[in-house]
Amino acid sequence: MAIRYIRPVRFCDTPIGLADGEAARLAGGLQWFTAYEVVGDADRETLGLAAFERKHGADPRAVALHAAVTRARAPLAMGGRTIRLDQPQVVGILNVTPDSFSDGGAHAGDPAAAAAAGSAMAEAGAAIVDLGGESTRPGAQTVWEEDEAARTVPVVERLATAGVAVSIDTRKARVMEAALAAGAGAVNDVSALSWDQRSAAVCARAACPVILMHSPDPAEGGHGRVTYGDVVGDVFAWLEARVAAAVAAGIDRARIVVDPGIGFGKSLSDNLQLLNGLAAFHALGCAVMLGASRKRLIGALSNEAPVGERLGGSVALALRGAEAGVQLLRVHDVPETVQAIRVWRGLRDRALVG
């Protein structure tokens, strides 16, 4: 079998009581697993870890993928802040666009109010505030880079001065440069550094964390629809190539985060398969971000609930991500998600429940 990817399965609460080698820690986090789903071009099989080692231990790709799955993720250094990746962290979404799908432009044109909203997210427990000045909803107009920088930089300055870890959500190298100079500590690019030819060099020079998101047509906005053979495998392969390109451009793999791009050029079925297959993306050897908050799939599964009535579904998807070992959960509803993750962690704390 030529292996395309492996997905950790058969999770367990603790390795206590199991023989050596029967369980492995997922990416140095809170989750343990005891088997892999091994996926090739035409077949797949589920193997316990010992059986996986016996069958594929001489395969260089299998060895590399297993090492990537089990390697602890280094913390993200964002200016003066350090973001641990041995536990799920909440990333708050802050938009300063007039056409955001989620808040209708509530913070557009008012940097002070936007910064206050971002500070409130941090106070509520968000490890990072992700600031965007251009909508990425289907049909949104492209914003001139200077206008996007003018929207975001004053907010970055205020948040950075307040000690908040900020990532800049942009596809444009000019905006990246301006935001990083103003105090942003990371770049979140929905095009995975493929929209602007200068973006990879900007991020490499800044030595900052970079979030690479999958979409089928990043140069055109990310919402083209394609037919996937195996959506998990296809997205995995695409992200694997973008990670390799970023590393070749001088970006340290330890600073790269991958995002499967829920809702970008994907059907409801595609999105659900990705959510159920999230653990596979740990085999890229990078931290994983999940951005499913308030997405259309929640409405599709709950009587077409409008954007403002998708809190329950958003929290459910965040918990799904935590169960799959996702390190960064990008959400609109920070206090509710932080509370849910704290309770989830409490349920797993052996000191509390043992």
Give the global pTM. 0.94
Quick one: average pLDDT of 139-164? 89
For 306-353, the pLDDT digits (tens) are 999 999 999 999 999 999 999 999 999 999 999 999 999 999 876 566
Q: Where in the chain is the domain with CATH 3.20.20.20?
A: 76-351
Q: What is the pLDDT of residues 216-254, one digit of tens each?
A: 877 766 566 788 999 999 999 999 999 999 999 999 999
Q: Judge whether 281 and 300 are in contact, CB under 8 Å.
A: no
Residues 245 and 200: beta-carbon distance below 8 Å = yes
- Amino acid residing at 156: V
User: Which member of 205, 330, 342, 350 is catalytic?
Assistant: 330
55 is an active site residue = no
pLDDT recorded at residue 97: 86
Query: Given this model, what pLDDT does residue 273 score?
Result: 98
Element (H, E) at 52: helix 49-56
What distance lies between CA 79 and its chain's CA centroid? 20
Binned at pLDDT 50, 70 and 90, residue 1 comes out as confident
The verdict on whether 295 is a catalytic residue reads yes
- The per-residue DSSP string of 250-306 comes to T--GGGEEEE--TTSS--HHHHHHHHHTGGGGGGGSSEEEE--TT-HHHHHHTTT--
11-61 pLDDT, tens digit each: 998 898 999 999 999 999 999 999 999 999 989 999 999 999 999 999 999
Top-level class of domain 76-351: alpha beta
Amino acid 351: pLDDT: 54
Q: Which of 158, 172, 255, 295 is catalytic?
A: 295
pLDDT for the residue 293: 97
- Burial code (b: 16+ CB inside 10 Å, e: under 16) for 99-109 equals ebbbbeeebbe
Rounded CA-CA distance 11/35 in Å is 8
Q: What is the pLDDT of residues 80-126, one digit of tens each?
A: 899 999 999 999 999 998 755 555 566 667 899 999 999 999 999 99
The pLDDT value recorded for residue 101 is: 52
